[in-house]
Structure 1
């Protein structure tokens, strides 16, 4: 986790802008599923295990499910530890792909600099914390006062959005009372509301026709629209 707080008791922020990463700042819906498959292969090799195809398919998932747990028990490994080890491998492989240039920032991410002149900004993602920290460092994004991805392992999985845990952590770290959360998924809207934030839904090519069952406070198609929407 990377956290830099810039507030004090005499300068309490009443409004902050928190952003999701994948599909909002970083191009693409999220980490490619093949990353988790490759990470599974690497983890099984570390454990020196070659499972049956049916067990393999049960293990080849991002989710920590009863099916995954049963498959781990079948091959004689602790489910929580195996899951955490695989997630570490997933984060490493995702970072390697970013290093290779497979994903970049959206062009409208340049709007963050103007926003940072008016608001305190934070980045809160369901992607792994090491990956999120790498993105900020690799692309030289220096406008965020709080940066947080989810922890690897079962606890991090259970705390991911739509749970508000990491958003609330951001508000606390920034000593903030209110603000906005900008995301590209319905879970972002739900998490934002649960954290007491006004959710803003951004439509990109990957979610252009997505129907929502919950209403955001605003919808945008570019980060450059934010200043005109939220300015008092």
Structure 2
């Protein structure tokens, strides 16, 4: 059994239900409309919604086609997206997974590292009363630069490790980018495969595969 100093968790698909397509697409359409663009090609909506595949260069190219400023566009889109996520949580259309309560049995410092907005991570920790479970948390700011630092970039994982003064950790995620980020940071990974989420194929083999967060305490003790 590997000894760890800490455990880090992704958020969407791990701690809480992930956002669905339509609210993100609507936030994107609202952003274009606020900037005077009413007719947007569907592939461009999809490109913004799938922000894990978006980078600063492709965003700039997309915005140039509509003659809008990419920085203003992105910061506006992020605000609309944050609003839609908060509305979903408050309405109960997205919620916390029941097995999060099992993390109270993990006897190691824990943190959250997500590609979602930092403000949303803070909201979720407070709204779902998860804050006592985690000693640090990182999401991305509302900047174009944040696209470069998203997982699989290990930047925020490394910052969380520094916060926890940890040299080894297990990172728990639900996507290939989580497994890649963990491995690039030199950490073990646990890929959670929830029945309610689409199957994930990984180009890098995760250290562990689990079906529930209840398995975490066994992996780290």
Report the TM range for the smaller structure's normalisation. 0.7 to 0.9
* CA radius of gyration, larger in: 1
Does residue 84 in structure 1 map to residue 72 in structure 2? no
Q: Which residue of 1 aligns with 2:124?
A: 135
Q: Structure 2: how far apart are the matches of 1:215 and 1:106?
A: 25
Residues 176 and 200, structure 2, Cα contact 8 Å, conserved in 1: no
Q: Structure 2: how far apart are the matches of 1:59 and 1:202?
A: 29
Residues 25 and 45, structure 2, Cα contact 8 Å, conserved in 1: no
> How far off is 1:75 after superposition?
3.1
Q: Which residue of 2 aligns with 1:70?
A: 61
Q: Structure 1: how far apart are the matches of 2:205 and 2:108?
A: 24
- The within-5 A match list for 1:100-119 is 100-115=91-106, 118-119=107-108
Q: Which residue of 1 aligns with 2:32?
A: 44
Residues 126 and 160, structure 1, Cα contact 8 Å, conserved in 2: yes
Q: Structure 1: how far apart are the matches of 2:58 and 2:213?
A: 39
Q: Which residue of 2 aligns with 1:191?
A: 181
Q: SS of the residue aligned with 1:210?
A: coil
Kindly tell me: are residues 53 and 147 of structure 1, through their superposed partners in 2, closer, same or farther at Cα, counting changes over 3 Å? Answer: closer
Q: Which residue of 1 aligns with 2:88?
A: 97
CA RMSD of aligned residues (A): 2.0
Q: SS of the residue aligned with 2:145?
A: helix
Aligned length: 212
Kindly tell me: are residues 34 and 209 of structure 1, through their superposed partners in 2, closer, same or farther at Cα, counting changes over 3 Å? Answer: closer
Q: Which residue of 2 aligns with 1:17?
A: 7
Q: Structure 1: how far apart are the matches of 2:76 and 2:92?
A: 25
Q: SS of the residue aligned with 1:88?
A: helix
Q: Which moved more, 1:38-47 or 1:84-93?
A: 38-47
Residues 173 and 191, structure 2, Cα contact 8 Å, conserved in 1: yes
Q: SS of the residue aligned with 2:156?
A: helix
2:207 to 211, 214, 217: 217
Q: Which residue of 2 aligns with 1:158?
A: 148
Q: SS of the residue aligned with 1:205?
A: coil
Q: Which residue of 2 aligns with 1:123?
A: 112
Residues 58 and 71, structure 1, Cα contact 8 Å, conserved in 2: yes
Residues 162 and 187, structure 1, Cα contact 8 Å, conserved in 2: yes
Q: Structure 2: how far apart are the matches of 1:59 and 1:70?
A: 14
TM-score between the two structures when normalised by the length of structure 1:
0.83
Residues 151 and 157, structure 1, Cα contact 8 Å, conserved in 2: no
Q: Which residue of 2 aligns with 1:9?
A: none
Q: Which moved more, 1:207-216 or 1:31-40?
A: 207-216
